[in-house]
Structure 1
């Protein structure tokens, strides 16, 4: 059981006895939700994902610091991978003309960033190998907006999709449903709750943004998304598409099927 669901049953204080009593009380509730037990293999894959996520954050921090320091020296380049590559190349050309201490420090940034890139690629290769051997992950990858990284993360995090009674419950578990703030019979729905697994939610929103970029008015089976893009802001539309993708992913896992796009 999630600890947050057991805490309300703790009467007073924090002791082993009161915790055990609260657990016994919570487990008898008919609406209590339970955490699915993951296999060792799934836990290992999740460690790969978490390590990759940490290294990506560190790489971003180092490249941002490198850009900032070079900008102070008058060396500026465009954003993105191509811009960073040209920035490094330009730094190598003018390195001898820079102050010695600054050049040495910036070279350390470049060496560390390059090492992180190699480690990230190595971890992604291991994740891809597991994705190819896992049936659920391969089926999830047939959904538009879900690639091997997202598919393997969902497959490792959700060992049993039947724990979610509906697709909306699964989307709510990922924090992709509106946050309710209702009282006195007046219903209010605010932004998404952002509860649950932030890593998978971020991957789904990124994949939804990619789907939106390639969606045009009149595309077969994309009328709903095209309408959302016209009525809503891009970020709101991306979250709505991510919500829909999460519901499709639940159906794929629950029914052991593959995704089949609608023709119209």
Structure 2
């Protein structure tokens, strides 16, 4: 399941998904992404650890949800495939789980085949769409997911690229409004709360390269969950959210990872 033919991949400026791939040790990035990634490392050497902590949070939260009966997942801002992918985590617990991936980056579409190798009992599909177009996301999701049954909406390391003036809260609200009671919001988000000077410098460098970074405080991040029931332990630095469900990420023990994660249930 795809949208219109994707635009040509722009290798003249860094892209967050490709930088994330580089942090994770992937090969689907370009010299411009590595160059910016190295600049971020010079400001805060924990950035690759943060990327891995985000992935580990996704693994643990999806496992937690699948163990509690959630069988439908909508992953917006999928990023370049890195195994295990969300569908592999969910279908390991529940082979009949149905997963829709969504991203706006042409390079992710080029690798979409890797995202579609799920179980025979379940379903995995890829949708080319932007988080700023929730109607298109919901229209595509309805072709695979039953939106009358609970859905876990996954927004991992995505919303810090969508500032308030672009309607970040309204976008999340629109997506959640079409999901029934018993659905969940799964999110991680970068913050400047622990490293204000480094974060300000990183934001400025990214802005100069054409990448918007909207870091939010704990209170600002928590606003996304205002109408939801937070799953214990609530809003946490990501590696402290149910750590018993996975193995520690090497390096996370060296201090606070500058981000937050949470899972909330729609009543």
Q: TM-score, normalised by structure 1?
A: 0.22
Q: Which has the higher strand share?
A: 2
Larger RCO of the pair (alpha carbons < 8 Å, separation 6+): 2
Q: Which has the larger radius of gyration?
A: 1
TM-score (norm 2): 0.22
